[in-house]
Amino acid sequence: MTTTGPRFRFPEVDNAYVPSGSIGLLAVPSMLAMGGVAALLGGYLLGAILPSLDNLSRKPGLLGILLTILEIILKLAAFGFLGAGVGLAVHVGGRFGRNRNQWAALVLGLVCGVIVFIVVVSVGWDNPEYEKPTVAPLMAIAMFVALVLGPAATAYTGVGEDPFCEDHRRFLERREIHKLPYSAEGAAMDLLLSRDFAAIAKLPGTQDMMNYAAIELWFCDVCEAGYLSMTTTLSILKEDDYEAHVSEEERQVFSSSLNASEVKMIIGRER
Ligand SMILES: [Zn+2]
């Protein structure tokens, strides 16, 4: 395997922002409310259509085989979408309730996953059209994984990554400050390391979508404390004897907290 094209100049760095892990007062009720409503409504809908999906495959011959394959695909897609949808509802509820705790999101995702699973099974089971439990063991396992573990994983993902101001109880505003060509990345790093943030605006910009470095600012709109990061995106051509493909890779190469005067200097705003 040979790689050609630009290479990363700087090592990956961790986020300067470290989540407090706090659970907002409203977070649990709001995650439970949003996730619960999604689980009840979505579970009821899927439970209602599940018997029709089961009946799809009750045809003899080749048509029956094709319809069985269709049934499996449709069921897996429905389980996957519903599980992710319930998890997303928990996630949105957590965002609304200002949750910064991944474990709270995981547990609430799991609780709503159990709710949606129970609703789907009981609504589907009570349906008079449901003649036989054709859910093969493998399908039952897939259903459990998608509906119970799916919401937990979706709700958990990304929680606590967005910077939050604990003093003013709000998620920070995000702003892209500059998009630099790959050739200017080294110069930008020098400015970032010497904390000469005002000079960054003088560096050249780029429209290149393949190889660039993006500088992003997050700041609290009350106290103006914030974080600054630089993320490099490169399109790297990878070749071996059999194939060549371009893989887009991203790496955070700078991350630092900023005080209010540094934020002001960057956004050029005085109060
Ligand atoms: Zn603040």
> 228-252, pLDDT tens digit by residue?
999 999 998 888 878 888 889 999 9
Kindly give the distance from the C-alpha atom of residue 265 to the centroid of ligand 1, in angstroms, as a whole number: 17
Cα–Cα distance for residue pair 175/173, rounded to 1 Å: 7
CA atoms within 13 A on the CB side of 139: 18
Task: Give me the percent of the chain exceeding a pLDDT of 90.
Answer: 61
Element (H, E) at 217: strand 212-219
Q: pLDDT tens for residues 33-88?
A: 999 999 999 999 999 888 888 777 777 788 888 888 888 899 999 999 999 999 99
The alpha carbon of 223 and the centre of ligand 1 are apart by a number of angstroms equal to: 4
SS3 content of the chain, % helix, strand, coil (to 5): 50, 20, 30
Ligand 1 centroid vs 60 CA: distance in angstroms? 67
Q: Which pLDDT score, from 0 to 100, does residue 133 have? A: 47
The percentage of residues in the chain with a pLDDT greater than 70, rounded to a whole number, is 94
DSSP states along 242-263: S-EEEEEEEEEEEEEEE-HHHH
CA of 221 to the centre of ligand 1 (A): 7
Ion ligand 1 — residues with CB under 5 Å? 165, 167-168, 220, 222-223
Q: 28, 108 in Cβ contact below 8 A? A: yes
Domains of the chain: which residue ranges?
A: 2-17+164-270, 27-156
Ligand 1 centroid from CA 173, angstroms: 11
